[in-house]
Chains A and B, each alone.
Chain A
Amino acid sequence: MESAEDWLVESLRLYQDFHAFDLSGATRVLEWIGDKGVFVAGYESLKKNEILHLILPLRLSVKENQGLCPERDFKVCHGGFSDASVFELKHVPDTRLLVTTGLPGSYLHVWQVAEDSDVIQAVSTIAVPEKEGGLWPRVAIFSSMAPGVLHGVRLRSLKVVDLESQKTTYTSGVSDSEELSSLQVLAADTFAFSCASGRLGLVDIRQKWAPSETISPGAGAAGGRWCAEVGGRGPGPSIASLGSNGQLCLFDPRDLSHPVSSAQCSVSAPSPDPELLRVTWAPGLDNCLAISGFDGTVQVYDATSWDGAGRQVEPLFTHRGHIFLEDNQTDTAPLVTTHTWHPHKSRTLLSAASDASLHVWDWVDTRAAH
Chain B
Amino acid sequence: MPEIRVTPLGAGQDVGRSCILVSIAGKNVMLDCGMHMGFSDDRRFPDFSYITRNGRLTDFLDCVIISHFHLDHCGALPYFSEMVGYDGPIYMTHPTQAICPILLEDYRKIAVDKKGEANFFTSQMIKDCMKKVVAVHLHQTVQVDDELEIKAYYAGHVLGAAMFQIKVGSESVVYTGDYNMTPDRHLGAAWIDKCRPNLLITESTYATTIRDSKRCRERDFLKKVHEAVERGGKVLIPVFALGRAQELCILLETFWERMNLKAPIYFSTGLTEKANHYYKLFITWTNQKIRKTFVQRNMFEFKHIKAFDRAFADNPGPMVVFATPGMLHAGQSLQIFRKWAGNEKNMVIMPGYCVQGTVGHKILSGQRKLEMEGRQVLEVKMQVEYMSFSAHADAKGIMQLVGQAEPESVLLVHGEAKKMEFLKQKIEQELRVSCYMPANGETVTLPTSPSIPVGVSLGLLKREMAQGLLPDAKKPRLLHGTLIMKDSNFRLVSSEQALKELGLAEHQLRFTCRVHLHDPRKEQETALRVYSHLKSVLKDHCVQHLPDGSVTVESILIQAAAHSEDPGTKVLLVSWTYQDEELGSYLTSLLKKGLPQASS
Contact = CB atoms under 8 A, between A and B. Distances in A.
A355 interface: no
B61 to A, nearest CB: 35
Interface in A65-79: 65, 67-79
A70 B385 CA distance: 8
A118 B422 contact: yes
B219 A22 contact: no
Contacts of A22: 210, 213, 396
Interface stretch (A13-21, A185-193, A291-299): A13-21
B421 A117 contact: yes
A113 to B, nearest CB: 11
Contacts of A81: 425, 429
B383 A18 contact: no
Interface residues on A, range: 35 or more
A70 B387 contact: yes
A299 B258 CA distance: 28
B433 interface: no
B212 interface: yes
Contacts of B366: 65, 68
Interface in A49-103: 50, 54, 57, 65, 67-81
Interface in B372-393: 383-388
B388 A72 contact: yes
Given A75-B209, A76-B395, A118 B419 contact: yes
A12 interface: yes
A18 B208 contact: no
B386 A73 contact: no
B219 A118 contact: no
B426 A117 contact: no
A12 B227 CA distance: 10
B213 A20 contact: yes
Contact of B210 (A11, A12, A68, A73): A73
Contacts of A80: 422
Contacts of A48: 429
Nearest to B365: A68
A24 B259 CA distance: 35
B228 to A, nearest CB: 11
A286 to B, nearest CB: 28
A213 B384 CA distance: 56
Contacts of A119: 421-422, 425
A115 B360 CA distance: 38
Interface in A116-135: 116-120
Contacts of A79: 422-423, 425-426
Contacts of A9: 255, 258-259
Given A9-B255, A73-B394, A118 B418 contact: yes
B215 interface: yes
B422 A325 contact: no
A19 B209 CA distance: 14
B210 A72 contact: no
Contacts of B167: none
B14 to A, nearest CB: 15
In the complex, which of the residues A5, A23, A117, A325 has the most CB atoms of chain B within 10 Å of its own CB atom? A117
Nearest to A120: B422
B219 A11 contact: yes
B44 interface: no
A4 interface: yes
B222 interface: yes
Contacts of B218: 8
A70 B365 CA distance: 12
B210 A21 contact: yes
A96 to B, nearest CB: 15
Contact of B384 (A20, A67, A71, A72): A67
A325 B209 contact: no
B399 interface: yes
Given A9-B255, A50-B426, A67-B383, A72 B418 contact: no
A319 to B, nearest CB: 14
A68 B364 contact: yes
Nearest to A18: B216
Nearest to A12: B223
Q: Main SS of chain B's interface residues?
A: helix
Contacts of B396: 22, 24
A118 B429 contact: no
B211 interface: yes
B539 to A, nearest CB: 61
Contacts of B215: 4, 8, 20, 325
B564 to A, nearest CB: 86
Contacts of B399: 24
B422 A76 contact: yes
A67 B386 contact: yes
Given A81-B429, A118-B421, A19 B212 contact: yes
A325 B254 CA distance: 18
B208 to A, nearest CB: 5
B20 to A, nearest CB: 23
B420 interface: yes
A50 B210 CA distance: 14
Contacts of B384: 67-68
B213 A118 contact: no
Contacts of A75: 208-210
Interface string A293-334: 000000000000000000000000000000001000000000
B251 to A, nearest CB: 11
Contacts of B213: 19-22, 325
Contact of A73 (B211, B365, B385, B387): B211
Contacts of A8: 215, 218-219
Given A22-B213, A81-B429, A69 B422 contact: no
In the complex, which of the residues B259, B383, B385, B429 has the most CB atoms of chain A within 10 Å of its own CB atom? B385
A135 B396 CA distance: 32
Contacts of B388: 70-72
Contacts of B254: 5
B329 interface: no
B70 interface: no
A19 B394 CA distance: 16
A11 B215 CA distance: 11
B426 A73 contact: no
B408 to A, nearest CB: 22
Interface string A162-196: 00000000000000000000000000000000000
Interface string A128-154: 000000000000000000000000000
A218 B421 CA distance: 49
A74 B210 contact: yes
A142 to B, nearest CB: 30
Nearest to B422: A79
Given A68-B364, A73-B212, A73-B394, A117 B419 contact: yes
Interface string A14-54: 00011111111000000000000000000000001010001
Interface in B408-453: 418-423, 425-426, 429
A20 B423 contact: no
In the complex, which of the residues B213, B217, B394, B395 has the most CB atoms of chain A within 10 Å of its own CB atom? B213
A20 B396 CA distance: 14
A59 B270 CA distance: 34
Contacts of A325: 213, 215
A74 B421 CA distance: 18
17 contacts: A9-B255, A9-B258, A9-B259, A18-B220, A20-B216, A21-B213, A48-B429, A67-B383, A68-B385, A72-B217, A75-B209, A76-B209, A76-B210, A80-B422, A117-B419, A117-B421, A118-B418
Interface of B: 206, 208-213, 215-220, 222-223, 226, 254-255, 258-259, 364-366, 383-388, 394-396, 399, 418-423, 425-426, 429
Interface of A: 4-5, 8-9, 11-12, 17-24, 48, 50, 54, 57, 65, 67-81, 116-120, 325, 358
Return the 7 tightest CB-CB contacts between A and B, nearest first.
A79-B422, A70-B388, A72-B212, A74-B210, A20-B213, A73-B209, A76-B208
Given A21-B211, A73-B210, 4 more contacts: A22-B396, A69-B386, A81-B429, A118-B421
